């Protein structure tokens, strides 16, 4: 039986700093860092991967199964274009954190206002 690829997993939180950029965090307990793929195209972030059950567990011997397994793929629309060269991702204790710096050209510019000479 094939399982539909989940488009709602993992749950994400999006943090924004107008100048610095965007940070996206996701809870992925038990997912190996190597099995997570992250790609950024323009202002779209894509997180995909697979969560595998433990090898030692066999189907017949489950007493309870609340965790779920399979493929996932999430697309996130970012509020602005990011500098794709500078995107960083790190996973610690099952929490993934992706740092996406705002593209230099997209940063808000300070417009100096001068008093008009009369």
Partner 1 sequence: MNKELQTQKQEVETTEGAERTRAARCYVPKVDIYSLDDGIVILAELPGVGENDVDITLEKRVLTINGFVSTAEPEGYELTYGEYGVGDFQRSFTLPDDIDQDKIEASISDGLLRVFLQKAPEAQAKKIAVVSG
- Residues of the shown chain interacting with partner 1 in the complex, contacts defined by CB under 8 A: 1, 3-4, 6, 8-17, 20, 23, 25, 27-33, 51, 53-54, 56-59, 61-70, 72, 79, 91, 93-95, 97
Instruction: Give the list of residues 6+ apart from residue 1 with CB closer than 8 angstroms, or none.
Output: none
d(CA 74, CA 84): 18
Alpha-carbon torsion (53, 56, 58, 62), positive or negative: negative
Q: How far is the CB of 73 from partner 1 (least distance, A)?
A: 10
| Minimum CB distance to partner 1 smaller for 31 or for 40 | 31
Q: What is the smallest separation between the CB atom of 40 and partner 1, expressed in angstroms?
A: 17
């Amino acid at each position: 039986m094939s399982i539909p690829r989940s488009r709602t997993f993992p749950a994400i939180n999006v943090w924004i700093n107008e100048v610095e950029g965007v940070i996206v965090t996701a809870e992925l307990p038990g997912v190996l860092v190597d099995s997570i793929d992250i790609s950024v195209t323009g202002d779209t972030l894509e997180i995909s991967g697979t969560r595998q059950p433990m090898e030692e567990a066999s189907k017949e011997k489950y007493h309870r199964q609340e965790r779920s397994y399979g493929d996932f793929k999430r697309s996130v629309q970012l509020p602005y274009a990011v500098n794709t060269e500078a995107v960083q991702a790190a996973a610690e204790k099952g929490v993934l954190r992706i740092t996406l710096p705002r593209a230099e050209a997209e940063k808000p510019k300070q417009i100096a206002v001068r008093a008009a000479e009369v």
